[in-house]
Amino acid sequence: MKLLQPNEMVDSIYDINLSSLKAKGIKGIITDMDNTLLAWHSSEITPTAAQWVNEVRQADLKIAIVSNNSPARVEELSAQLGVICIAKAVKPRRSAFRSIAAQFNLSPQEMAVVGDQLFTDVLGGNRAGMYTILVNPISKHEFIGTKIMRLLEKLFLQR
Ligand SMILES: [Mg+2]
């Protein structure tokens, strides 16, 4: 059950305190794409999202995108932001998170995982030994499987 508990819960990526993350020894961030960085299935990067990615870089933190979504879209959007990515990551599997940490030459303890889903982002990040941050999903419109997961998440968080 501890593996389903995020270290932090914030409203959105814009509420993440980057300097306090750095004070905790975090040197890199892995962010989810859908409903975390962008609205679900949106194919456009908003100026605010792009600005946030720049703020992360300016704070001297590395940043990468790890998504379970299809490569075509994830890779295109990541390229637009100039960040490395792994698509079809099969979160909560640990391999994508570990691969990014290895590419950054950072240990899991130096990495934070940001996402809107307990059963993929938080579970996967915790399993990989990383610091986990749960955000509220940007949009309500989503895949039915995700909706069922949300319901389970709600039940879990209420406990
Ligand atoms: Mg998501």
- Of the pLDDT bands very low, low, confident and very high (cuts 50, 70, 90), residue 44 is confident
Please compute the mean of the pLDDT values over residues 23-27 and round it to a whole number.
Answer: 98
In what order do the strands lie in the sheet containing 111-115?
8-10, 131-135, 111-115, 28-31, 62-66, 84-86
Residues having C-beta closer than 5 Å to ion ligand 1: 32, 34-35, 116
Q: What is the pLDDT of residue 51?
A: 96
d(CA 76, CA 10): 27
How many H-runs (helices) and E-runs (strands) does the chain carry?
6, 6
Could you give the percent of the chain with pLDDT greater than 70? 96
Residue 123, pLDDT above cutoff 90: yes
Q: What is the pLDDT of residue 144?
A: 64
pLDDT digits (tens, 9 = 90+) for 45-77: 999 999 999 999 999 999 999 999 999 999 999
How many Å lie between the centroid of ligand 1 and the Cα of residue 74?
A: 12
Please compute the mean of the pLDDT values over residues 35-47 and round it to a whole number.
Answer: 88
Give the H or E element holding residue 10.
strand 8-10
Q: What is the pLDDT of residue 106?
A: 98
CATH number, position 47: 3.40.50.1000
How many Å lie between the centroid of ligand 1 and the Cα of residue 23?
A: 26
Encoded tokens for 94: 């640990």
Q: What is the pLDDT of residue 54?
A: 97
Specify whether the CB–CB gap between 26 and 61 falls below 8 A. yes
How many Å lie between the centroid of ligand 1 and the Cα of residue 131?
A: 17
Residue 75: domain span: 2-158
- Of the pLDDT bands very low, low, confident and very high (cuts 50, 70, 90), residue 24 is very high
Q: What is the pLDDT of residue 17?
A: 98
Q: How many domains does the chain have?
A: 1
